[in-house]
C-alpha cells in the first residue's frame, strides 16, 4: 500500500457529550462522553487506515491537551509525525441532543504558532514528502500561521513530485489555488465564496481557471461533482442516507486519495468517495464509517458524465 501524508495544522481533541435533551439556559446531566484525536486531516487518516493504507499525520500538538491527543492517536493506525509546540492544542465540544439527534458544536480557535515552530514544521514536512505518494492539506490555519501557508505547502509538494489535495476554505483556499494544487474539495458554500457563483458546474470551472487542476465539489445529499481536465462527472448515492453528517466530507477526501494512489479512473474514485461519505452518515458514531454500508453501497453509486466541457 502507498503511504499517504495528511497535514492538520490546527489539530484538536474532539469531545462529544450526550444529553437526553438540550435546553438553553439549563443544567444538563451528561449520559455519555467520548474523546478522540480530531481535525480534518486526522479524520481523513483514520478512514484511510481503516481502508488499509499506510498513513502518516503531521501538523502541530502542544500542552496537556496535545499529550492526550497523541496518546489517543497511538492507539490508532496512522503514524504520528506531529510537531510539538508550546501552545495548548485546541478542543472542540459537540453536544448531542439524544431526543432529536441534533448536534451543537463549539470550536476553539487553536494555539498561536511561533515563527520558529513553523520553520520546524517545514523541515519535517519536506522530509515526510520524500516517502509520500500523495498529500492532503486539510482544515483551518491556527493563529500565527500566515494566510498563504497552504500555497507554500502546495508548491513544496509539487516540487517533490507528490500529488496534493487541498481541503480548506476562504482566503487560505484562494491563496492556495495560485500554487496549482492537483485537487480541491470545497462544499457548495465554500465554492460560492471562492467564485461568487451558486451554480456548482460554473463555479467549479471558474475554480479551475483560478489554478486548481481538478475540483470535486460536495453537493450534500446530491453527492459530488468532479470537474477535471479529462471530463466532468456527478456521483450520487442511490437513495437519501439518514444519520449524522459529521465527518462525511473528510471520508470523501479519504476516498479520493485512496482512489488516486490506487490509480483508479475518475468515475471509480468518485464512487469510492460517495460510498464512504454515505457510510459515514449511516455510522452510529460521528466521524466513523460503517464498513458494511460502504461495501453494499459501492456498486450502487451512480456516476454520470456531466455535459459541462472541461476548461
Residues belonging to the active site: 250
Q: How many CB atoms lie within 10 A of CB 100?
A: 9
Residue 263's Cβ-count burial label (10 Å; 0-12, 13-18, 19+) is exposed
210 in Cβ contact with 193 (< 8 Å): no
Give the torsion through C-alpha atoms of 81, 83, 88, 89, to 10 deg. -40
CB 217 within 8 A of CB 199: no
Write the DSSP assignment of 76-112 as a string of letters.
SSSEE-PEEESSPPEEEEEEEETTT--EEEEE---PP
Tell me which H or E stretch contains 235: strand 232-236
What strands, in cross-sheet order, belong to the sheet with 32-38?
32-38, 12-19, 90-97, 103-107
Nine cell digits for residue 266: 475518475
Using DSSP, state whether 46 is helix, strand or coil.
helix
CA 113 to chain centre: 21
A 10 A CB-CB count for 209 gives 11
Taking every pair of Cα atoms in the chain, the longest distance, rounded to a whole number of angstroms, is: 56
How many Å apart are CA 70 and CA 72, to the nearest integer? 5
DSSP 118: H
Alpha carbon distance 131, 261 (integer Å): 13
Cell match 510537531: residue?
83
Per-residue cell: 88: 495548548
Amino acid at each position: 500500500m502507498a503511504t499517504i501524508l495528511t497535514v492538520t495544522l490546527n489539530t484538536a481533541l474532539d469531545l462529544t457529550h450526550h444529553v437526553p435533551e438540550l435546553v438553553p439556559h439549563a443544567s444538563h446531566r451528561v449520559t455519555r462522553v467520548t474523546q478522540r484525536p480530531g481535525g480534518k486531516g486526522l479524520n481523513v487518516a483514520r478512514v484511510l487506515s481503516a481502508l488499509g493504507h499506510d498513513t502518516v499525520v503531521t501538523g502541530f500538538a502542544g500542552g496537556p491537551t496535545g499529550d492526550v491527543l497523541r496518546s489517543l492517536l497511538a492507539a490508532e493506525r496512522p503514524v504520528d509525525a506531529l510537531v510539538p509546540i508550546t501552545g495548548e492544542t485546541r478542543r472542540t465540544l459537540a453536544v448531542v441532543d439524544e431526543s432529536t439527534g441534533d448536534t451543537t458544536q463549539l470550536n476553539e480557535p487553536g494555539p498561536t504558532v511561533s515563527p520558529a515552530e513553523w520553520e520546524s514544521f517545514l523541515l519535517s514536512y519536506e522530509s515526510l514528502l520524500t516517502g509520500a505518494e500523495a498529500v492532503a492539506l486539510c482544515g483551518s490555519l491556527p493563529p500565527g500561521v500566515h494566510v498563504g501557508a497552504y500555497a507554500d505547502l502546495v508548491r513544496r509538494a509539487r516540487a517533490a513530485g507528490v500529488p496534493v489535495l487541498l481541503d480548506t476554505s476562504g482566503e487560505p483556499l484562494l491563496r492556495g489555488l495560485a500554487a496549482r494544487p492537483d485537487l480541491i474539495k470545497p462544499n457548495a458554500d465554500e465554492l460560492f465564496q471562492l467564485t461568487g457563483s451558486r451554480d456548482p458546474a460554473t463555479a467549479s470551472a471558474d475554480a479551475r481557471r483560478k489554478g486548481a487542476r481538478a475540483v470535486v465539489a460536495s453537493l450534500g445529499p446530491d453527492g459530488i461533482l468532479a470537474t477535471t481536465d479529462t471530463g466532468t462527472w456527478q456521483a450520487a448515492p442511490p437513495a437519501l442516507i439518514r444519520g449524522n453528517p459529521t465527518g462525511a466530507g473528510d471520508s470523501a477526501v479519504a476516498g479520493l486519495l485512496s482512489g488516486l494512489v490506487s490509480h483508479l479512473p475518475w468515475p471509480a474514485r468518485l464512487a469510492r468517495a460517495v460510498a464512504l461519505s454515505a457510510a459515514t452518515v449511516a455510522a452510529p458514531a460521528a466521524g466513523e464509517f460503517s464498513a458494511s454500508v460502504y461495501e453494499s453501497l459501492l456498486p450502487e453509486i451512480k456516476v454520470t458524465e456531466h455535459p459541462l466541457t472541461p476548461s
